[in-house]
Amino acid sequence: MNNVDEIRLDSRFAELKSCHTRTDPDPLPEPEMAHFNVPLAKEMGIDPEQEILLEILSGNRPWPGYAPISSVYAGHQFGSWVSRLGDGRAHMIAEIVRADGKRVELQLKGSGRTPYSRGADGRAVLRSSIREYLCSEAMHALGVPTTRCLSLVSSPLPVARERMETAAIVCRVSPSFVRFGHFEYFSGDREVLGALADHVISAHFPHLEGPEKYASWLSEVVERTAKLMAKWQSMGFCHGVMNTDNFSILGLTIDYGPFGFMDVFRQHHVCNHSDYEGRYAYGAQPDIGLWNVSCLLQATYSLLSENDEEGAQMASEIYKGYVSAFSREALRLWTGKLGFAEVREGDAALVGRFLTLLQNKRLDFTKSFRNLARPEWVEGMDETWLSDYRARTAAEAMEECLRISKMNSVNPKYVLRNHLAQGAIEKAESGDYSEIGKLMQILSRPYDEQPENERYAEPPSSDLPAIEVSCSS
């Protein structure tokens, strides 16, 4: 393990001067380490016992040898074009090269005003910071591509949202924070667009070189995005704000705001109460992923060809790859959740019928899929479907114990349900951070039975008030 001044730094993104502004975080008064992700720190080679970490991760001191920056980008927000956005409350504080040669970027979220704050206060509240901190690590444990979180720092600093709350900062960790919106912002400047694309390819797609590298790269971005959407659907995860500026160029889940794992299954479930028209409803997510991909491709025509018409044609061919990639990955994931060893004709219909049963009978998404591995479980099941399902599993002649093991390895028992996050938030707001640590331990093993934590696998009781999350969440 290394002290922070011994960590090897990189500056690849910092060298792209057009993409960011040099800016310092605002000091955070009376910072307290609410939780620190020791396993992730060790993974990056950082000694977790250093006192200086609190100062750095609260934005009160720079990482030795790195000048903080905030990035500029554009984006389509709820379908409407916004020509200039950017890191309005985030500062990149380091680009680190790990011992294994992999690079990661560290970004503070909630660290104060930047040139891109658009009049806002640049802060994040404890409530939303806890949600992001817990969910990014929960998603990682589930096997969903995601940014991660190293630390959660709290402060008594008052912050006004729907009500008066207190401030917090999370340190997010990712191989890159470049978004679709970066390319949209620079779409009219081929020189900067090319430099940004070259940076992304060199740092994260080094296998793609040669005269067709931009087309190959965009094809891979499209495929990664399609697979991410399939993964979200298979987990019952709703993002809530699928704007193009919230889409990672690496196909990672990024920007946890009004997200939610569904309890009762509903195709039109909307997790963001600010999404009045349901643009980002659960069932719409795959199509929104496709729409966002089209925005990225429109922004990068000039990289594909100096001739606009030819560039548009090439982009159109790349665009077509999304649907086939999503369909293949989604069917593979769904059939795996049902315990099938391979995809066969008729499986898509069987999956669709099961989801219809869940919706019509108002059954819990996560618990229902987990219970399918229990041969005795027939609660709420349609006998016709159950008969067809058993016939399909019997056709593969897989040993039952192996099938159960495979199903339990892809159907989690524990996800970050909203009521669990809310319980941790309420304790933390009274000064007790213990539930954050408890949830981090449980959610790091989402596929294990953990009988001592059985209550954390249960849906919310009917007497709990409904929890609404918005863009301030």
Catalytically annotated residues: 245
Separation CA 34–CA 427 (nearest Å): 12
The token pair that represents 84 in the structure block: 């200039």
Separation CA 67–CA 74 (nearest Å): 23
Distance of alpha carbon 340 from the chain centroid: 27
What ranges in 187-284 are assigned the alpha helix state H?
Answer: 190-204, 213-235
The CA–CA distances, whole Å, from 201 to 11, 195, 221, 357, 393 equal: 15, 10, 11, 44, 43
Separation CA 308–CA 294 (nearest Å): 15
Cα-flanking dihedrals φ and ψ of residue 76, to 5°?
Answer: -100, 115
The dihedral sign for the CA sequence 371, 376, 382, 388:
positive
What is the H or E stretch that residue 39 is in?
helix 38-43
Which residue in 227, 139, 137 sits closest to 440, CA to CA?
137
Which residue in 85, 14, 27 sits closest to 54, CA to CA?
27
* 157: amino acid identity, one letter: L
The token pair that represents 3 in the structure block: 């002290």
The CA–CA distances, whole Å, from 367 to 154, 177, 243 equal: 33, 33, 30
- Quote the strand ranges of 239-365, DSSP E: 260-261
Contact status, residue 86 vs residue 114, Cβ threshold 8 Å: yes
Q: Mapping DSSP to helix (H, G, I), strand (E, B) and coil, where does residue 88 land? A: coil
The token pair that represents 126 in the structure block: 């404890």
Which residue in 100, 104, 74, 102 sits closest to 86, CA to CA?
74
Contacts of 291 (CB under 8 A, 6+ apart): none
Contacts of 165 (CB under 8 A, 6+ apart): 125, 126, 127, 158, 159, 429
Which residue in 254, 332, 237, 267 sits closest to 75, CA to CA?
254
